[in-house]
Amino acid sequence: MEVILKKDVDNLGFADDIVTVKNGYGRNYLLPRGYAVLSTPSTRKQREEMLKQRAYKEAKVIEEAKNNAKKLEGLDLKIAAKAQNDGKLFGSVSPADLSKELAKHDSEIDEKYITILGGNIKRTGQYDATLRFHREVIEDFTFEVVAEV
């Protein structure tokens, strides 16, 4: 079953993508929740027209996303967390914590667009994260988790 996505769906695609899914997934999940519409000749024409109109606006959004990504170049971010003497954290550092710290440094990015390599952090040290500012602007970011003084 071919559908046109109305919204970004994790592990499937972005809004306005044409994707092929199994019939049950499309019929029972995507269509009833409004995440997608059936791909018919008329909906494809509407999609193409909308994409043409959106192309100019998209260029501005991509440029803004690139500027936001440039703000992070050279940023030495340290997240302080309560830790034991051996470096093990009480709790963990998640993408939400990283998002809050980035907001303090004038870079607003939603936590759902942050992926910390290896999952939540449970020890002090240096870690890598992937930040998605836009579907075409994805940056790798290195930060450090330090013990709270």
DSSP run (H or E) holding 109: none
Over the stretch 112-138, which tens digit does the pLDDT of each residue have? 999 998 888 999 999 999 999 988 899
Q: Which domain holds residue 120?
A: 71-147
pLDDT at 99: 93
Q: Among 69, 101, 118, which residue terminates a domain?
A: 69
What is the spatial distance between Cα 9 and Cα 90, in angstroms, rounded to a whole number?
33
Overall domain count for the chain: 2
Residue 57 belongs to a domain with what CATH number?
A: 3.40.5.10
* Residues contacting 15, CB < 8 A, separation 6+: 5, 6, 7, 8
* Residues contacting 110, CB < 8 A, separation 6+: 99
What is the spatial distance between Cα 149 and Cα 137, in angstroms, rounded to a whole number?
36
pLDDT at 8: 92
Over the stretch 17-68, which tens digit does the pLDDT of each residue have? 999 999 999 999 999 999 999 999 999 999 999 888 888 888 888 998 898 8
pLDDT at 105: 85
pLDDT at 54: 84
Q: Among 45, 69, 93, which residue terminates a domain?
A: 69
pLDDT at 83: 93
Residues 75 and 128 in one domain: yes
Q: Tell me which amino acid residue 91 is.
A: G
Residue 124 belongs to a domain with what CATH number?
A: 3.10.430.100
From the list 67, 62, 146, the residue with the least C-alpha distance to 106 is 67
Over the stretch 72-120, which tens digit does the pLDDT of each residue have? 888 889 999 999 999 899 999 999 999 999 998 888 889 999 999 888 8
Q: Among 34, 69, 104, which residue terminates a domain?
A: 69
DSSP run (H or E) holding 114: strand 114-116
**Res 149 pLDDT > 80:** no
Residues 118 and 84 in one domain: yes
CA torsion, ordered 79, 83, 89, 95, to nearest 10 deg: -10
